[in-house]
Amino acid sequence: MCVSSVDGGKSLPIPYVYVNSSGSVKYYRPMQVVLACSLEMYAFPFDKQNCSFTFRSWLHSVKEIDLALWRSAEAIANDKREFMNDGEWELLSIPSSYWQIHQDDTDYAHIQFNVLIRRRPLLYVVGLLIPSIFLMLVDVTSFYLPLSSGTRIAFKISILLGYTLFRVNLTDELPATAVNTPLIGVFFAVSMALLMLSLIMSILVVKLLHHSEKEVRQMSLSACLLDKYGSAAHGFTESALTSIKTLDHINPSGDYDFDASLEEDLLSLNEIQHAPSGLECVLQDLVSLHLALSQEDVKKLGSSSGRFANATLVRLSEFLSSGYKKGVRPVKDWRTSTIVAIDLMVYSILNVSWTDEFLVWNPEDFDEVKQVSIPTTNVWVPDILINEFVDVGKSPDIPYVYVTHDGLVRNYKPIQVVTACTLNIYNFPFDVQKCSLTFQSWLHTIDDINITLMRSPEELREDKSVFMNQGEWELLHILSNYKIFSVDNDDYYAEMKFHVVIRRRPLFYTVNLLLPSIFLMVMDIVGFYLPPDSGERVSFKITLLLGYSVFLIIVSDTLPATAIGTPLIGVYFVVCMALLVISLTETVLIVRLVHKQDLQPPVPHWVKYLVLERAPALFCIHKKHSLCPTVSSQGTDLEHYKDNTYGTAQCPLHHTCELGQRLSHHDREGRLLGLGLPPSRDPTPPVMDNILHEVTAIRHFLEKRDRCREVAKEWLQVGYVLDVLLFRVYLVAVVAYSITLGTLWSVWQVA
């Protein structure tokens, strides 16, 4: 049988074998095999793989069955005639080797064929690498966009989100190996990091340009922080024609019964006309043998004359099967229970042994034969089942059991088990699972069948010799527990439970789920560095939010679905999305304060006290510098001359009109003299009156605008202080949440 097979495969039934005159039996059997291969995926998709076919006798030692290559190793290595070479894989060679393994004080023969194959990378180059390179080239080209146009940030964030979705969509295309990450996965992660750095650089430059365009600019907390600390398992399936050549004189199945179809075939051979004399004799012997076997009991062959008369194994088989009833539990005293010893080796080897008191013989009477293999169908077998079975599985058929001279029956059975496990996925992908396999007799009570361990619990706990440790799961240990239970408080049953403790390797999920999410959250934090009145922050954050929503929809199939509890990583994604929503809401409010000052009422006194006085002092927020009071001084000068009859005019260069000064001087002089007469006035042209009226109207307009500007300036100051304050709260929440989850996941990973 093929040791590395994980599936029984689909093989065509071949009812015949070739037998020549020397007793050589040729058995040509087409066989489809599903293997579990240890894959090295670092060089994917330019990788080479080595899948091995190991053939051995599952039960018989090398003293009973030895193996040999039919052809030379060189001929097998270079034979590619039957390989279908138009698929994803290219066959390189098939080297072979022979060795013997020592197990349980017995040597077993092995022949291993190593199938060396190479992947054709064209599909993955076109579907994975080229689109990624195109996106990187487009990002480089975006540096030619002028920053003043306001489109570079939106362009780059669109590329980053598109690349994120591209990676998530291709998660199923990449091999999910948990031992190491393929180099192409590292390439995708580094490319995404470069896109993120490119976007951060653009945001910094936009901030600098926007700062230089304004007369007065108070840095928000995001700018302060950035200025102070710096900017942020395919199994390989192959149809192979397996040729097995054995030398034996009896039917390998061990069964001497011929079915009706075989009888018709043998009898029809007698009707062959003009057959050579040698062939005619052979045919007559075959027909005579069939008639003899169908009319006489097999046990008479031991005493009859023929080629089986002196065969020790035949005599021993007669002795053991004489009067044996496989339907009766093999104990001489019905009060004695049959002890069934169970051993488990993950991944798929189940050892079961028990004592059959009816299969006992004296080795001296049978040429010192101390053990013999007999068909499983001819002996009593305990009804040991696995309670957690949800599928019968696909296991190779082992038709024999070993029987020793003292009645010990050993049933080494490879079995593929599909069980129902209770999973605790709260810590996913850093979870440790415990799946149980419970062995018990389905019908017999403990008085009939008892169960014990074949090895000590300590040896069983640390046995990882045959576990394939290259997949997503890592075997920690195997615990065993024996107990006796009762269903109706009358009959008691024995059960042996094995707890297989495994731990998930989280590297694949960290690279493909956590890193993209972390990158998007970092970009949201950096987005606060964009000036709130530049008009780009809202579009930046809404694009991030929409991209994260699509990201969650795509990765929902990757997360384990359970109705008992939600994985912490799912809570992490939901909280991250909630933080993005809060960030967007805060940005919308700040933009509303910055761009809609003319529609705002005066700032309430409690807002001035809390936001403009207390908050900057408590949280060390620098106050925004006051605007230049040019317009206010103009209004004051105009107010100084409000009593003038003709009014005064303030020139743009702050020079007082000489006419207004002269008239005011004569007016004051006449009043001081106390003449009671109106002062003399110089005649003024009508044009001057119109000018003075216009100046008065301008004065009232400027006074009103100054009042609005004062309100707008106060709301602008409130907006910048709130922007700094809310960003600090947001940053503290993100950092605290990230540290908490990182600590939990680190503890779970080490545990």
At 639 the pLDDT is: 43
List of domains in the chain: 18-119 (2.70.170.10), 124-219+508-595 (no CATH), 333-504 (2.70.170.10)
Q: Identify the DSSP state of 358.
A: T
User: From residue 682, how far is each of 636, 668, 679 by CA, in Å?
Assistant: 27, 15, 10
Mean pLDDT of 101-114: 83
Mean pLDDT of 72-86: 72
Q: Is 532 exposed, middle or buried (0-12, 13-18, 19+ CB in 10 A)?
A: buried
Nearest to 723 by CA among 529, 477, 520: 529
Backbone torsions φ then ψ of 151, nearest 5 degrees: -105, -15
For 395-413, how does the pLDDT look when each residue is reduced to its tens digit (9 = 90+)?
667 788 889 989 899 887 7
Comparing 130-144, 290-304, 311-325, 537-551, the range with the smallest average pLDDT is 290-304
- CA–CA separation, 24 vs 473, rounded Å? 46
At 557 the pLDDT is: 73
For 466-520, how does the pLDDT look when each residue is reduced to its tens digit (9 = 90+)?
666 656 788 888 888 899 988 777 888 899 888 888 888 888 788 778 888 888 8
For 614-651, how does the pLDDT look when each residue is reduced to its tens digit (9 = 90+)?
777 677 776 554 444 443 444 444 444 444 444 433 33
Decide if 594 contacts 713 (C-beta within 8 A). Answer: no
Greater pLDDT, 79 or 284: 79
pLDDT classification of 358: cutoffs 50, 70, 90: confident
Q: Is 242 exposed, middle or buried (0-12, 13-18, 19+ CB in 10 A)?
A: middle
Q: Percentage of the chain surpassing pLDDT 70?
A: 65
Mean pLDDT of 141-160: 79
Mean pLDDT of 227-253: 38
The DSSP string of 21-81 is TTSEEEEEEEEEEEE------TTTTS-EEEEEEEEE-SS--TTT-----SS-HHHHHT--T
pLDDT classification of 278: cutoffs 50, 70, 90: low
Greater pLDDT, 258 or 616: 616
User: From residue 625, how far is each of 177, 219, 316, 716 by CA, in Å?
Assistant: 57, 10, 108, 11
Greater pLDDT, 58 or 521: 521
The DSSP string of 125-165 is IIIIIHHHHHHHHHHHHGGGS-GGGT-HHHHHHHHHHHHHH
Nearest to 250 by CA among 195, 180, 301: 301
Residue with tokens 């014990």: 452
Helices of type H across 250-375: 260-269, 277-295, 312-321
Mean pLDDT of 205-227: 52
Greater pLDDT, 290 or 535: 535
- CA–CA separation, 703 vs 264, rounded Å? 121
Q: Percentage of the chain surpassing pLDDT 90?
A: 0
For 560-569, how does the pLDDT look when each residue is reduced to its tens digit (9 = 90+)?
766 566 788 8
- CA–CA separation, 111 vs 97, rounded Å? 6
User: From residue 268, how far is each of 237, 262, 283, 290 by CA, in Å?
Assistant: 41, 10, 10, 13
pLDDT classification of 383: cutoffs 50, 70, 90: confident
Residue with tokens 């989100």: 161
Decide if 516 contacts 551 (C-beta within 8 A). Answer: yes
Decide if 342 contacts 482 (C-beta within 8 A). Answer: no
* The pLDDT of residue 579 is above 60: yes
What does the angle CA 290 – CA 291 – CA 296 come to, to the nearest 5 degrees?
105
* The pLDDT of residue 393 is above 80: no
The DSSP string of 202-255 is HHHHHHHHHHHHSS--PPPHHHHHHHHH----PPPEEEEEEEEEEE-SS-TT--
* The pLDDT of residue 65 is above 60: yes
Backbone torsions φ then ψ of 206, nearest 5 degrees: -60, -40
* The pLDDT of residue 303 is above 50: no
At 431 the pLDDT is: 85
- CA–CA separation, 73 vs 82, rounded Å? 17
What does the angle CA 478 – CA 481 – CA 484 come to, to the nearest 5 degrees?
155
What does the angle CA 662 – CA 667 – CA 670 come to, to the nearest 5 degrees?
125
pLDDT classification of 377: cutoffs 50, 70, 90: confident
Residue 585 CA to chain centroid, in angstroms? 33
At 380 the pLDDT is: 87
Comparing 262-276, 437-451, 545-559, the range with the smallest average pLDDT is 262-276
pLDDT classification of 730: cutoffs 50, 70, 90: confident
At 298 the pLDDT is: 41
Residue with tokens 């216009």: 694
What does the angle CA 563 – CA 565 – CA 568 come to, to the nearest 5 degrees?
135
Q: Quick one: tokens of 46?
A: 């330019």
Q: Quick one: tokens of 21?
A: 């005159």
Q: What is the C-alpha radius of gyration for the chain, rounded to an integer number of angstroms?
A: 45
- CA–CA separation, 403 vs 376, rounded Å? 10
Nearest to 166 by CA among 196, 114, 131: 131
Beta strand 338-345 with 449-453 is: parallel
- CA–CA separation, 373 vs 371, rounded Å? 7
Greater pLDDT, 427 or 281: 427
What does the angle CA 174 – CA 175 – CA 178 come to, to the nearest 5 degrees?
125
User: From residue 185, how far is each of 38, 128, 170, 190, 509 by CA, in Å?
Assistant: 19, 10, 10, 9, 12
Mean pLDDT of the chain: 71
Amino acid residing at 533? D
Mean pLDDT of 98-109: 82
At 96 the pLDDT is: 86
Greater pLDDT, 252 or 614: 614
- CA–CA separation, 651 vs 695, rounded Å? 10
At 249 the pLDDT is: 41
Mean pLDDT of 188-195: 85
At 708 the pLDDT is: 67
Mean pLDDT of 662-689: 51
At 663 the pLDDT is: 39
Q: Quick one: tokens of 435?
A: 């799946």
Helix 568-595, helix 515-526: angle, nearest 10 = 20
Which value, to the nearest 10 degrees, does the dihedral of the CA atoms of residues 648, 651, 654, 659 take? -40
Q: Quick one: tokens of 564?
A: 């008992």
- CA–CA separation, 204 vs 613, rounded Å? 30
* The pLDDT of residue 526 is above 80: yes
At 676 the pLDDT is: 44
- CA–CA separation, 129 vs 232, rounded Å? 29
Q: Is 449 exposed, middle or buried (0-12, 13-18, 19+ CB in 10 A)?
A: buried
Q: Give the DSSP H/E element, type plus range, for residue 380.
A: none
Helix 537-555, helix 568-595: angle, nearest 10 = 160
Q: Quick one: tokens of 201?
A: 């650089």
Nearest to 238 by CA among 30, 13, 27: 30
Largest CA distance in the chain: 172
At 625 the pLDDT is: 47
Task: Give every CB contact of residue 84 below 8 A, 6+ residues apart in sequence.
Answer: none
pLDDT classification of 167: cutoffs 50, 70, 90: confident
Decide if 725 contacts 619 (C-beta within 8 A). Answer: yes
